[in-house]
Amino acid sequence: MSSECAIRLQGITKTYRLYRGPVERVKQWLRPLVHHSLGKCHENYYREHVALDDVSLEIKRGETLGIIGRNGSGKSTLLQIISGIVTPAKGTVWVKGRVAALLELGAGFHPEFTGRENVYINAGLFGLSESEIDERFDDIASFADIGPYITHPVKTYSSGMFVRLAFAIIAHVKADILLIDEALAVGDAFFVQKCMRFLRKFMDHGTVVLVSHDTTAVLTLCRKALLLDQGRALRIGEAKQVCDYYLRHLYAIHAVPDDRESSIDRSSDLTGSLGSLSNNEGMSIGHLNGRHKLGDSKAVIEQVSLTDAQGGIISCVTQRERLRLSVRCKTAVQLFSPLVGFLVRDRFGQILFGQNTNLIRPQTTLSIPPGTRFLTEFEFIMPMLGKGSYSISVALAEGTQAYQVSHHWVNDAVVFESMPKEHCFGFVGVELIHAYILQQDCQDETPTPSPAL
């Protein structure tokens, strides 16, 4: 039953014709006529934009698919095609079951109508009869939780209220397939929690397609993910792998304008020396952060390693422990006041913490002669991190904290896993000194406040 197919897309291609103005459009219409009568042919009056290029996809019932990609990669168009709002230029769409779509903010509300009327219209569009909506109206109103605004025209709503009402409706229409586009980003934390609870419950039997450029939402909700890039399906598979690829891909693209002239070639031998340090598949080297211009390859990071206090290579952290990060560099020029730093990121690219040599003690007096290799060591207590993979980026610069010239920046120089022994909620674990449950005796039943408390 779970292997039943809910959505099947085959070779979906969508092209848009972009006209410079309405006159061009009319000319294009008349083109075949002119072609017939005059026998000569003007070129097309439009520019073609390919929004989706041969995307095939199959989603089984009960599956949750996340679609990620940069802006303009065709995510929303794909969702519009699945929902039937947009017809593809080529390819077939096959969808089984009642589809409820929450596309961007609009959600198909009529701005002049009150929230209540929009509930009736919108729910009616999903095939609910008047009496069915009557039955569910109170539930919808309480889910949206917008109070007396339900009787106001929706044009007076804040964007948050818009989404709350829209989500409340699709949560109550008993759909088989939910299509959600970036909508969760708008509500406040309480509402997002409510949506998450609903979605998790819905996923037990329903199919969800979620579009987002926030990989966190995709990772927490979806097991499968599709990465779109310029309308093409670049990757499809396990959400984690696709998201990892996406993040690296994103960084790679950002780095392109800067690393044209130099030093990508260095990455090959760097990978060689660093490869032995860690066998994590997520490890990569040579992606240069775009914000740090690598004007010269005069000084480079040659090797980075993460070890425990005894010098053994670490690839998995299980508790709060003392670690050593060693950074070996080589300089071709005289380095005045060198600065080495690192950043630890979680799998979403979020920076958790970082340090550099300057923050501890400014190395203003230090000067390194050309042609020498030097070693920087950071010893620090690794906090107890939540389960998952983390990466350390390392940078070599020259100057002070405020003004510096960056020589080399290596993203994901070291990748390690965290497997906390104790259960760890959230991003970091907290070390518990003690935890008690105390029973406090209460003499009389009446809740009179006692000054002793």
Partner 1 sequence: MVLGTLMSHHSLIWRLARREVISRYRGSAIGVLWAFLHPFIMLTVYALVFHEVFGSRFETSVGGPVDFSMQLFAGLIVFSFLSESFHRAPYLILNNVTYVKRVVFPLEILPWTSLCAAVFHAIASVAVLVLLYGFAYGHIPWTVVCFPLVLVPLALGTMGFSWILASIGVFVRDVGQAIGPATTVLLFLSPVFYPVSAVPEHYRWVLYFNPLTFLVQQSQDILIWGRLPNWAGLAIYALGGYLLAWIGLMWFQRTRKAFADVV
Subset of 36-95 contacting partner 1 (CB under 8 A)? 80, 83-87
Q: Tell which residue, 394, 337, 344, 335, has the closest CA to residue 370.
A: 335
Q: Provide the Cα torsion 291, 293, 299, 300; round to 10°.
A: 50
Residue number, 108 or 388, with CB nearest to partner 1? 108
Using CB under 8 A, count the residues that bind partner 1: 30
For residue 129, what are the contacts with CB-CB under 8 A and spacing of at least 6?
none
What does the per-residue mask of binding to partner 1 show for 122-141, with x meaning CB under 8 A? x-xx---xx-----------
Residue 163 found at the interface with partner 1 (CB under 8 A)? no
Q: Shortest gap between Cβ of 126 and partner 1 (angstroms)?
A: 9
Query: Phi/psi at 35 (nearest 5 deg)?
Result: -60, -45
Q: Shortest gap between Cβ of 375 and partner 1 (angstroms)?
A: 59
What does the per-residue mask of binding to partner 1 show for 106-125, with x meaning CB under 8 A? xxxxx-xx---x--xxx-xx
Residue number, 121 or 428, with CB nearest to partner 1? 121
Largest pairwise CA distance in the chain: 105
Residue 33 found at the interface with partner 1 (CB under 8 A)? no
N- to C-terminal Cα separation, the chain: 59
Written as one string, the DSSP assignment of 284-338 is: ------TTS-----SEEEEEEEEEETTS-B-SEE-SSEEEEEEEEEEESS-EESE
Residue number, 58 or 117, with CB nearest to partner 1? 117
Q: Shortest gap between Cβ of 113 and partner 1 (angstroms)?
A: 6
Rounded CA gap, 184 and 175, in Å? 18
Burial of 430 (0-12, 13-18, 19+ CB in 10 A): exposed
Beta bridge partners of 229: 232
Span of 35-43, 98-106, 256-264, 347-355 interacting with partner 1 by CB under 8 A: 98-106
Q: Shortest gap between Cβ of 167 and partner 1 (angstroms)?
A: 14
Residue number, 84 or 272, with CB nearest to partner 1? 84
Rounded CA gap, 202 and 195, in Å? 10
Rounded CA gap, 142 and 89, in Å? 41
Out of 55, 99, 180, 270, name the contact with partner 1 by CB under 8 A: 99
Residue number, 46 or 198, with CB nearest to partner 1? 46
Q: Shortest gap between Cβ of 65 and partner 1 (angstroms)?
A: 20
Structure tokens at 55: 């995307």
Residue 409 found at the interface with partner 1 (CB under 8 A)? no
Residue 173 found at the interface with partner 1 (CB under 8 A)? no
Residue number, 122 or 357, with CB nearest to partner 1? 122
Residue number, 122 or 391, with CB nearest to partner 1? 122
Asked if 119 and 137 touch (Cβ cutoff 8 Å), the reply is yes
Residue number, 109 or 390, with CB nearest to partner 1? 109
Q: Would you tell me which residues interact with partner 1 (CB under 8 A)?
A: 16-17, 22, 25-26, 80, 83-87, 99, 101, 103-104, 106-110, 112-113, 117, 120-122, 124-125, 129-130
